[in-house]
Structure 1
């Protein structure tokens, strides 16, 4: 049995700001940007992983969600509490410099972690935590 990741979802509150960050600051390619059932379906991905899409979706894309559920999700997103994403990079320091220069909100400068990686962290324009991890050479 062969199971592979196809798509993952990141909640965003403004597709245009999210696209500017993920495309321009991170260098991901835009694969889809279409209207779908009254919403906007946007996918991005790393050119080196053509079979993995990151879907940038509203905080609660369920059309049957109540207004109070939508407000609760928007509040969690604004606080950065909807989880995080970890990207792998071959140069953590260069990645940090690129994203910082593009105006990324720094959460953690590059540091060697005791569990064998060098990583840094940012918030995207919606508040999601993104980490960029490089395996340390032994």
Structure 2
């Protein structure tokens, strides 16, 4: 019994450590850095590559909840129809945690410098899931 408890403890500790590896953190930050560059080049299509291509993707914003990759993409194009409306994006990372194996939760701040429409800033939370070996945003709450 004692060996069983010790084995379970070691397995759970291994899973915890694996979920918080430097490689996982680096991959998530690299995706966000790429998205930031995509946005600042006016490339919404490439920016969307960080999101889960699924009808189950969830985006929560001021207007409410949007479900689905296609609808989220269409909403980005509608809200930011040209380069000027997109402005210059900057991400700030506040906290990245791994509440479970292959799950990450990131809290951050964004700012958009837009000379034409005025600057905008707010906070965001991203729920990530490792799918097919790659970190993917499955829920975005931006306000």
What's the TM-score bracket when you normalise by the shorter of the two chains? Answer: under 0.3
Query: Hey, which of these two has a bigger chunk of helix by percent?
Result: 2
